[in-house]
Amino acid sequence: MGTEHAHSNPNAPDHHDEHGGSHGSMREYVVGFLLSVVLTAIPFWLVMTGAIPDKQTTALVIMAFALVQIVVHMIYFLHMNTKSENGWTVMALIFTIVVLVITLSGSLWVMYHLNHNMMPMSHDMSQVP
C-alpha cells in the first residue's frame, strides 16, 4: 500500500523527526525558559547592585553565566545531544568550537605581536634629524 508515516500518534508527548531528533515537550521548553531567565537575572543583579567590587571578577562571572546559558539553550531549545542526527550535530558543534578557538587565538596572537613590534621606540621620535 502506501508508505506509513513514523508519527502514528500525533498526541504523543515527545515527537521525533525522521533523523531521530526530539522536538521536545512543553515541560522541557518551560524548564529551559526558567533557567534562561535565572541565568540572565543573576548577572544583571550582580552588576546593578555592585555585589562584586572588582570589575574583572564581575566580567569573569558574567562570562561564566553566559557559557552556562549557551549550554542551556543548546540542550533545551536546539535539542543538541549525542542521539539526534546520530551524533553529527555534536560533531558539527565541536568542529565549530575548534575553528573559533583557532581563529580567535590566532587573531589575538597576531594583534599582540603587531602591537608589540610596531609601537614606536621609547625615545622621543620628534627629534630625529
Asked if pLDDT for residue 27 goes beyond 90, the answer is: yes
Single-letter amino acid code for the residue at 95: F
Higher local confidence (pLDDT), 15 or 45: 45
Degrees to nearest 5, angle at CA 60 with 98 and 75: 50
Domain boundaries, the chain: 19-79, 87-117
Q: How many Cα atoms within 13 Å fall on the side-chain side of residue 94?
A: 7
In Å, how far are 29, 36, 37, 39, 46 from 33, measured between CA atoms? Answer: 6, 5, 6, 10, 20
The pLDDT, as a whole number, for residue 49 is 96
Asked if pLDDT for residue 123 goes beyond 60, the answer is: no
Are 79 and 85 within 8 A, CB to CB? no
The pLDDT, as a whole number, for residue 116 is 84
Q: In whole angstroms, what is the distance from residue 76 CA to residue 79 CA?
A: 6
Would you place residue 11 in the very low, low, confident or very high pLDDT band (cuts 50, 70, 90)? Answer: low
The pLDDT, as a whole number, for residue 2 is 47
Give the global pTM. Answer: 0.61
Are 85 and 21 within 8 A, CB to CB? yes
The grid cell for 89 is 550535530
